[in-house]
């Protein structure tokens, strides 16, 4: 796993991953040489436009120099694309800041497909407070949106501890269902605001092992965002999204005037995702392990976002 100390804050840029012919030396795995792993992949055109059509044959997966066998490529649209989308709002975000975004957030929730279950959670004291459990009744969920308590009353010492708590204790995995989160926060970890942050590292490990895709919207003061500590905090949000296969939305060093344009881009992301299945060598660790992968395509107009690591199960036998 890349630790945050090796990842400096940079503006989030969606990178087009294009297959290089120099990889022809890679070895291809066969069906009987490993175990199947499925992950979520986002495919977009330039500047959050609709992507060109891709088939299974267009997708190339590597673990190191080994080219892995792709066995499944299913577009997640309509009833086949069941999604659980969590809105995790940092309770220490300014009350007025969030209040001005209510209409955009409500519109985004109500615009989701019927197959998408939305939940609303508030990060506070390193845990989460549930405003609405996952529900496909979007109108009812949107009514549970509330103002934050603000810094004085809603102190959130670590948004990353809260995200880990959400995944571990409030969000059981369901077979065949994508799990994605939109985190609205300044990204600051008041327990470890510097570059070295074990809470962040632990949460990134939790996110990747659970296969959760995380998207973020930066919500912090301009003064804080332009500071050295703010730069570090934004960098953590960037790493969290990039390495989970999500998208990060920023407006320089300040909270966006309107979430609307970014939520429209996120909607485009959610509507252009695939479930990619490939074969990897089995883990020798009985509890499984995270493995680094690279997912590419030969289609130059297609921009791919995918996790940097996937969880590979081990030979551990279930307890009797």
What pLDDT, in 10s, does the model give residues 168-225? 999 999 888 999 999 999 898 888 777 778 999 999 999 999 999 999 999 875 455 4
In whole angstroms, give the CA distance from residue 69 to residue 250.
36
**Short-list 74, 75, 76, CA closest to 84:** 76
pLDDT (tens digit, 9 = 90+) per residue, 236-265?
999 999 999 999 998 766 788 899 999 999
Using DSSP's 3-state secondary structure scheme, residue 207 falls into helix
Q: Alpha carbon 54 to chain centroid distance?
A: 22
- Element housing 228 (H / E): helix 228-244
pLDDT (tens digit, 9 = 90+) per residue, 64-103?
999 999 999 999 976 556 999 999 999 988 888 899 999 9
High-pLDDT (> 90) share of the chain, %: 66
Supply the DSSP symbol for 251: B
pLDDT band at 13 (very low <50, low <70, confident <90, very high): very low
In whole angstroms, give the CA distance from residue 216 to residue 198.
20
In whole angstroms, give the CA distance from residue 98 to residue 297.
39
**DSSP bridge pairs for 69:** 279
CA distances from 128 to 238, 257, 305 (A): 22, 26, 27
In whole angstroms, give the CA distance from residue 318 to residue 84.
27
**Short-list 41, 6, 32, 43, CA closest to 197:** 6
Residue in the block written with tokens 């992949």: 41
- For each of the domains in the chain, give its residue range(s) and CATH number, in order of start: 4-77+273-312 (2.60.40), 79-270 (3.40.50.410)
CA distances from 305 to 41, 93, 268, 310 (A): 6, 28, 13, 13
In whole angstroms, give the CA distance from residue 35 to residue 283.
9
**190 or 122: which carries more pLDDT confidence?**
122
Q: Global pTM?
A: 0.86
CB 75 within 8 A of CB 34: no
């Amino acid at each position: 796993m890349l630790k945050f100390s090796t990842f400096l804050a940079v503006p989030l840029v969606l990178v087009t991953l294009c297959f290089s012919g120099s990889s022809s030396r890679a070895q291809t795995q066969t069906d009987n040489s490993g175990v199947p792993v499925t992950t979520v992949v986002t495919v977009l055109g330039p500047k959050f436009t609709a992507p060109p059509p891709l088939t299974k044959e267009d997708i190339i997966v590597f673990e190191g120099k080994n080219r892995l066998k792709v066995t499944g490529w299913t577009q997640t649209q309509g009833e086949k694309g069941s999604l659980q989308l969590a809105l995790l709002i940092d309770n220490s975000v300014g009350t007025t800041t969030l209040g001005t975004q209510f209409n955009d957030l409500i519109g985004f929730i109500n615009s989701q497909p019927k197959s998408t279950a939305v939940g609303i959670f508030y990060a506070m004291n390193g845990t989460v407070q549930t405003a609405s459990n996952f529900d496909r009744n979007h109108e009812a969920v949107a009514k549970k949106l509330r103002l934050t308590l603000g810094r004085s009353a809603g102190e959130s010492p670590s948004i990353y501890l809260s995200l880990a708590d959400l995944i571990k204790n409030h969000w059981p995995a369901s077979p065949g269902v994508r799990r994605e989160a939109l985190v609205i926060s300044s990204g600051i970890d008041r327990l470890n605001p510097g570059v070295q942050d074990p809470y962040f590292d632990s949460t990134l490990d939790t996110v990747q092992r659970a296969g959760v895709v995380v998207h973020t919207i930066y919500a912090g003061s301009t003064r804080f965002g332009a500071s050295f500590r703010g730069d570090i905090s934004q960098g953590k949000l960037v790493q969290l999204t990039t390495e989970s296969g999500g998208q990060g939305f920023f407006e320089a060093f300040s909270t966006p005037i309107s979430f609307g344009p970014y939520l429209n881009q996120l909607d485009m992301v959610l509507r252009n995702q695939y479930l990619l299945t490939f074969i990897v060598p089995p883990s020798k660790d009985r509890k499984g392990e995270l493995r680094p992968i690279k997912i590419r395509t030969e289609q130059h107009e297609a921009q791919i976002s995918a996790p940097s690591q996937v969880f590979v199960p081990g030979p551990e036998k279930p307890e009797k």
